[in-house]
Amino acid sequence: MKKIKLSILLSALCSMLMFNAFSQPKTFDDAIEYNDYIIELQTGISNAFQAFINSVTNDESVAAMASLAALISVIEEKIDAIQNLGPFEENTAFRDAGIELFKFYKTIAENEYQQILDIKFKPDATEDDYAKLEELVLKIQEKEKVYDEKFLSSQQDFADTYHFTLTAPDLTDIPEPEPKPEYIEQYTQPDIQPNMPEELVKIVNDFLNYMIDGNQEEMKKMISPYYKKINSLKQDKYTVNNYGLTGFVIFSYDPSSNLITTHIWGNNQSWVHELTFTLIKEKGKWYIKPSLYDGEWLDPWTNVTPSIHENYETWNDVESNEYETNELETEKSPIIEPEVQEGMPEDRLIVLSDFLNYMKNTNQDGMKGLISPAFKAQNINVTEYRVNYYGLVDFLIYKFDKNTNVFTAHIWGNDKAWEHEVTFTMTNENGKWYILPSSFDGEWIHPWTNVTAYISE
């Protein structure tokens, strides 16, 4: 991919004289505070712009999209703030020039910057595309110059009117790009036991593939008819519990109990669990014998040993972890659910609630419909793909960051045997809110921004 330096996009913004006020006479304090408030708003936008540029410079398309969404959210917040600012005495020129400048920032973020991302991360970008990219850069600089000059002129007039001096800001605190994480030791698959019965292995193999697909109907067909009968299970009244696995290996068979042992894992084998399945023969056909039905969810496995290997402490923050033992602790501290933040935006909250309910029901079509159309257009060039998910039984959305449009939620499994903290970034496209995923690996969309696994186990 051709590398284009985008730092020049903010050359005017970062080098323009965004002056802070300095004055000896105390009588001018109110005017100085007024000036500094407007500049603080602009500096907030500048920092968000710089974070966006850093993500683009690192060639991280998903991070760049998330940064752009966060940038637009910051700009909108600052526009609201400056529009709510009254005139200083009868002077409105400086404030109004700020409003025009901030609205210009929003326009280029929603239009030219989106076009830049489309070209920058286009897999088959041509020389014509890169020429267009350069044209966009120049176009932004030419437009920005007009607004910058008006803003600076208005600020200087304001300072002259109220008799204080402008000083250049300290630009040493501009954030640097974060280093990319390094991967730690990879999971090693166990040796596969020879001469396992092919018929039974095929049953578990097919069942796990249906689990990967989130295919409830086919999983239910493979559950013991006798078990379903004695538990009065009706096809549409229960859900087979599952994991959002991306792969598995079947490696052991115990003939004394018809028990098959497998390892399943998530994306990049960032987590690996050991699952055992009991097979039972009924009227000449083999089925999966579940271990539990709680009135809603059916656990198809006999036993789960979670976290036999983890590459990450979280999905985004890579740290070295030791292999964990296969034994679960006999006691655990109960998780205390967090307090729910008040005033979370209802329009976005409804979208995420619907998405997690679709995940709960393994409804792939429902989840796909709430994924950012721009993300799908830019990243997905295959006809068949799936949204990654957890086999949760419930969730709690409890926190929202208005600066980044990020929600934080807890999700958990049956009896809260596991509980994860998951964050989701929301993005507004054509007036409608969507989930902005963190990545697409060629087969699976990973809808969350970050996952902190096993906050309760």
Domain chopping of the chain, boundaries: 7-167, 198-310, 346-456
Mean pLDDT value of segment 163-191: 62
Query: Identity (one letter) of the amino acid at 272?
Result: V
Which pLDDT belongs to residue 385?
A: 83
Average pLDDT for 253-263: 91
Amino acid letter, 246: T
Indicate if the pLDDT at residue 158 is higher than 80: yes
pLDDT tens-digit readout, 79-102: 988 888 888 888 889 889 989 999
> What is the pLDDT averaged over residues 183-207?
86
Sequence letter at residue 400: F
Check if CATH label 2.40.160 holds for domain 346-456: no
Please report the pLDDT score of residue 335 as a whole number: 58
Decide if pLDDT at 350 tops 80.
yes
The band of 331, judged by pLDDT with boundaries at 50, 70 and 90, is very low
pTM of the model: 0.41
Residue 206: pLDDT over 80: yes
Alpha helices in 297-455 (DSSP H): 346-360, 364-369, 373-379
In the CATH scheme, what architecture does the domain 198-310 have? Roll (3.10)
Residue 396 has pLDDT above 60, yes or no: yes
Asked whether the CA dihedral 130, 136, 139, 141 is positive or negative, the reply is: negative
**pLDDT tens by residue, 97-118:** 989 999 999 888 888 888 888 8
Q: For residue 309, what pLDDT is reported?
A: 58
Residue 128: how many other CB atoms lie within 10 Å: 9
The mean pLDDT value for 369-376 works out to 89
Instruction: Examine the pLDDT at 431 and tell me if it is beyond 90.
Output: no
Average pLDDT, the chain: 78
Segment 409-420, tens digit of pLDDT: 998 877 777 788
How far is the C-alpha of 316 from the C-alpha of 214, rounded, in Å?
25
Q: Is residue 177's pLDDT more than 60?
A: no
